[in-house]
């Protein structure tokens, strides 16, 4: 199942196991996501019904080991993410919020009891999780969060607000990050806890087949056992964000590839001035430029994945991939739409839907500006965030 955009025999760089997983996820997307996504997107429907199918494929927390998780490699996780996002960014985001954010937080920073309580059920799709870091006035600067947890005897009392929290209204457990007198701590909050309210945000022009919410936390009382015991400070949520950012590197290229394929297929069949659009030099230049960036983007993703599997991937290297691949993917989706002409603004074709979704993808887990400044500091040694 090689890709028509592959100009460099990319598949030869993958193992048979990696290719088999990619093809398995691609088949699922082709049969379950692509036939339905236009309707879901138009209606603003989040397909919670596919969660058990994703679990059956071993895609929830797939990069974690034990606790019912598949224990897949970073490259396998990336390949799966690319295929899911070729269907829709919302589908890959579902897997990312569940596995890279909520489950990773418990896996990395939770107690053994917390891991045993939550991770097997989350891997099986029986429990959905969310990850509450961003606030209405604290996006790129999470250190300015105002959510606060205070002691009350042996309990904690949590107050605050979170915004743009994926899956929150359908989740059974929320990982909430809040200030305490000792620094930022993570709390496992069952969403049935009194004082926890999640409200979907809408209407949206992007990620319409996905759920993002406002969360209100009003005197939420939690036992000591709800605290993630093994981390204090922003390094806790940042370690999870890096997992999610890594997945985006692959996912964005999946959306780009699908946009390219839609434009290429259309250009071969659309006749103008007595020949197909594909026979015009301007169209071929667009197609070639798109294919080159897709090939380079996947090579970058694979290189970073191999580094991650070797335990050598650095946060600034993740910024290279996130910044480049999101930026190029949205250009590709927009350029693909031009080949489709007026028909490209309908949901009969994927590029403009992908472009709209990628506006969100390039914003969450670090904006272009934030990743530029991370890399600027890497190059110059001078932080320029303030």
The pLDDT tens digits of the residues spanning 186-245 come to 999 999 999 999 999 999 999 999 999 999 999 999 999 999 999 999 999 999 999 999
User: What band does 134 get if pLDDT is binned at 50, 70 and 90?
Assistant: very high
- Determine which helix (DSSP H) or strand (DSSP E) holds 69, and give its type and residue range: strand 69-70
> With 50 as the cut, is the pLDDT of residue 5 above it?
yes
Backbone CA torsion sign across 51, 56, 60, 66: positive
Q: At residue 254, does pLDDT exceed 80?
A: yes
Q: Please give the average per-residue pLDDT across 28-47, as a whole number.
A: 97
Phi first, then psi: give them for residue 133, nearest 5 degrees.
-120, -55
Please say if the pLDDT value at position 1 is more than 60.
no
Indicate if 365 belongs to the active site: yes
Mean pLDDT of 165-185: 97
179-209 residues labelled b (16+ CB within 10 A) or e (exposed): bbeeebbbbbbebeeeebbbeeeeeeebbbb
User: Residue 72 phi/psi, 5° resolution?
Assistant: -80, 160
pLDDT at 165: 97
User: Strand, helix or coil at 136?
Assistant: coil
pLDDT band at residue 292 using 50, 70 and 90 as cut-offs: very high
pLDDT at 386: 82
Please count the other Cβ atoms lying within 10 Å of the Cβ belonging to residue 84: 29
For the chain, give the mean pLDDT: 96
Provide mean pLDDT across the span 351-356.
98
For the entire predicted model, the pTM comes to 0.95
Buried b (16+ CB within 10 A) or exposed e, 364-373: bbbbeebbeb
Q: Can you name the residues that pair with 162 across neighbouring β-strands?
A: 215
Q: Domain coordinates of the chain in residue numbers?
A: 10-124, 129-233, 235-380
Domain 235-380: give its CATH superfamily.
Butyryl-CoA Dehydrogenase, subunit A, domain 3 (1.20.140.10)
CATH architecture of 129-233: Beta Barrel (2.40)
pLDDT recorded at residue 266: 98
CATH code of 10-124, in short, is 1.10.540.10
What would the pLDDT profile of 312-324 be if each residue is shown by its tens digit? 999 999 999 999 9
Select which of 76, 135, 243, 365 is catalytic.
Answer: 365
User: Residue with structure tokens 């650095």?
Assistant: 314
| pLDDT at site 2 | 64
Closest CA to 215 of 203, 198, 229, 201: 198
pLDDT at residue number 185: 97
For residue 356, pLDDT over 60 is answered with yes
What percentage of the chain exceeds 70 in pLDDT? 99
């Amino acid at each position: 199942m090689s890709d028509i955009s592959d100009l460099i025999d990319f598949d030869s760089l993958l193992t048979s196991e990696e290719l088999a997983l990619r093809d398995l996820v691609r088949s699922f997307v082709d049969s379950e996501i692509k036939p339905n996504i236009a309707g879901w997107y138009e209606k603003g429907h989040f397909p919670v019904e596919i969660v058990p199918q994703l679990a059956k494929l071993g895609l929830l927390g797939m990069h974690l080991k034990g606790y019912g998780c598949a224990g897949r490699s970073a490259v396998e996780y990336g390949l799966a993410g690319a295929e899911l996002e070729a269907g829709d960014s919302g589908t890959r985001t579902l897997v990312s919020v569940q596995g890279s954010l909520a489950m990773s937080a418990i896996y990395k920073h939770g107690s053994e009891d917390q891991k045993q309580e939550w991770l097997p059920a989350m891997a099986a799709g029986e429990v959905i999780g969310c990850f509450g870091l961003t606030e209405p006035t604290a996006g790129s600067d999470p250190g300015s969060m105002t959510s606060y947890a205070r002691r009350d005897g042996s309990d904690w009392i949590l107050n605050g607000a979170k915004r743009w929290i994926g899956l929150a209204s359908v989740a059974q457990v929320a990982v909430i990050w809040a200030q305490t007198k000792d620094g930022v701590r993570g709390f496992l909050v069952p969403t049935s806890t009194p004082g926890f309210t999640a409200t979907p945000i809408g209407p949206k022009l992007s990620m319409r087949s996905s759920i993002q919410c406002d969360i209100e936390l009003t005197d939420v009382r939690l036992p000591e056992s709800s605290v993630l015991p093994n981390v204090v400070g922003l390094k806790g949520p940042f370690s999870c964000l890096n997992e999610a950012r890594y997945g985006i590197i692959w996912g964005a290229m999946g959306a780009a590839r699908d946009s390219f394929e839609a434009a290429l297929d259309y250009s071969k069949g659309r006749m103008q001035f007595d020949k197909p659009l594909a026979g015009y030099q301007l169209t071929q230049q667009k197609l070639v430029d798109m294919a080159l960036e897709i090939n380079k983007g996947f090579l970058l993703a694979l290189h970073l994945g191999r580094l991650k599997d070797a335990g050598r991937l650095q946060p600034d290297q993740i910024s290279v991939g996130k910044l480049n691949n999101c930026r190029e993917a949205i250009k590709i989706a927009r350029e693909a739409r031009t080949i489709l002409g007026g028909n490209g603004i309908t949901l009969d074709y994927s590029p403009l839907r992908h472009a709209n979704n990628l506006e969100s993808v390039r914003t969450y887990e670090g904006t272009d500006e934030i990743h530029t400044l991370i890399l600027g500091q890497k190059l110059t040694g001078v932080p320029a965030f303030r």
